[in-house]
Amino acid sequence: MLNYFLNRLTVAILVAITVSIFAFSLLRLSGDLAAELAGDDASEAEIQAVAKAYGLDRPFHIQYLDWAGSALSGDLGVSVFSNEPVFEIITAAMPVTIKLATYSLILSLVVAIPLGILAAVRRNTWIDRAALVFAVSGQAIPNFWLGLMFILLFGVMLAWLPIAGQETWVHFILPTLTVGLSSIPVKMRLTRAGMIEVMQSDYIRTAQAKGLNPIAVMYKHALRNAILPVVSITMVSFGRLLGGTVVVESIFALNGIGFEALQAIIRQDFPVVQSIVAMIAFIYIALTIISDLINAQLDPRIRLN
C-alpha cells in the first residue's frame, strides 16, 4: 500500500508541476502579453514600461520560478485590473463556487443513484427506457440555455425564485438545478451498469440460490459493490465542478471562481487567471489521489497490481 501511495504521489507531483507551468504560460502564449495589456494604440515606450512594471521583461523561466516560489508561501501576486491581491480574490470567490458545487453534487447523487438502481432492477422495462431518455436529454441540453430557460420559467413567468445574486440559499436553487441536472446522467449510467454487472456475478447468484430475501440481496450484497465506481467519480466530479461552473455563475450573477476567471480572461488579467487555473488543477489532483487511495483500500486488486 505504501509503495502504491508513493508511486501515485510522485506522478501527482510531476503532473502538478506540468500543470502549473501550463497555467502560467496560458495567457502568455500570444507572445506579447505586455502589448496586449498596454492596449492597441500604446507606443513602444509604453509597452516597455508595462513589461517592466509586471516583470514581463525577464526570461520566462525566471518569471515562472518567481511566481511559483511566492505562490508556495501564499503570495499569488496582485490583479493587473484592480491591484487587489489574487489570494484575496480567490478566497472571496471560492465559498460561492464550493457551495454551488456541493449542492449540485448532492442533488445529482440523490437523483442518480436511486434512478440508476431502479433502471438496473427493472432492466428493459419502460422505467429503464425512461431513465435512458432522461440521461440522453440531460447530456444533450446546453447548460447555458437550460439556465436561461429556468430564469424565463421560474424567475419571470412564474416569478417563484430569484434569478440573480447569492445572498440566501434560495438564490442557489436555480443554479443548483442547472448544474445538478447536467451531472446526473453519468452517475446514473454508472450506477445502472455497476448494478447490472454485480447482479450477474456468482456471489449474488449464490445468495439468491440460498433463498435469501431478494431485497436484502439487492441492498446488502449488490449495492455495496455496485456503488464503488460512483463513490470515486463523485470526488472527481466535485473537482470538475469547481472549474465547470463558469457559465452558470455568469448567467445567475454569482461571484464565484468561474465568474472571476471569465472576467480575468476577458481583461487579460494574467496573475488571476494563472492562479485560478493552477489552483483548480491542484484541488483536482488532490481529490483524484484521495479517491484512488479509497479505491485501493477497498479493492486489494488495485494496490497489488
> Could you say which residues in the range 72-101 bind other proteins, by CB under 8 A?
none
Phi/psi of residue 136, nearest 5 degrees: -65, -45
- CA-wise closest residue to 56 among 267, 263, 268: 268
212: left (phi over 0), alpha (psi -120 to 50) or beta: beta
Identify the three-state secondary structure at position 78: strand
263 and 219 in contact (C-beta within 8 Å)? Answer: no
For the record, the C-alpha cell of 30 comes out as 500570444
Closest to other proteins by CB, 109 vs 279, is 279
For the record, the C-alpha cell of 275 comes out as 492562479
Can you tell me which of 49, 94, 262, 298 binds other proteins, judged by CB under 8 A? 262
Can you tell me which of 60, 82, 95, 145 binds other proteins, judged by CB under 8 A? 145
133 and 126 in contact (C-beta within 8 Å)? Answer: no
Least spacing, CB of residue 74 vs other proteins, in Å: 21
CA distance linking residue 67 with residue 57, whole number of Å: 14
Residues 6+ apart with CB under 8 A from 54: 34, 37, 80
Closest to other proteins by CB, 91 vs 137, is 137
Which DSSP letter does residue 132 get?
H
Can you tell me which of 4, 5, 26, 92 binds other proteins, judged by CB under 8 A? 26
CA distance linking residue 151 with residue 255, whole number of Å: 18
Can you tell me which of 1, 6, 13, 18 binds other proteins, judged by CB under 8 A? 18
- Asked if 200 interacts with other proteins (CB under 8 A), we say no
- Asked if 105 interacts with other proteins (CB under 8 A), we say no
Closest to other proteins by CB, 48 vs 288, is 288
- CA-wise closest residue to 36 among 21, 51, 25: 51
- Asked if 273 interacts with other proteins (CB under 8 A), we say yes
Least spacing, CB of residue 215 vs other proteins, in Å: 26
Can you tell me which of 162, 244, 256, 271 binds other proteins, judged by CB under 8 A? 244
Can you tell me which of 41, 215, 266, 305 binds other proteins, judged by CB under 8 A? 266
Question: Which stretch, 52-60, 78-86, 112-120, 280-288, contacts other proteins (CB under 8 A)?
Answer: 280-288
Question: Other C-beta atoms within 10 Å of 22: how many?
Answer: 14
> Could you say which residues in the range 164-193 bind other proteins, by CB under 8 A?
none
Q: Please report, as ranges, the residues that interact with other proteins according to CB under 8 A.
A: 11, 14-16, 18-19, 22-23, 26-27, 29-30, 136-137, 139-145, 148-149, 151-152, 156, 242-244, 246-247, 250, 258, 261-262, 265-266, 268, 273, 276-277, 280-281, 284-285, 288
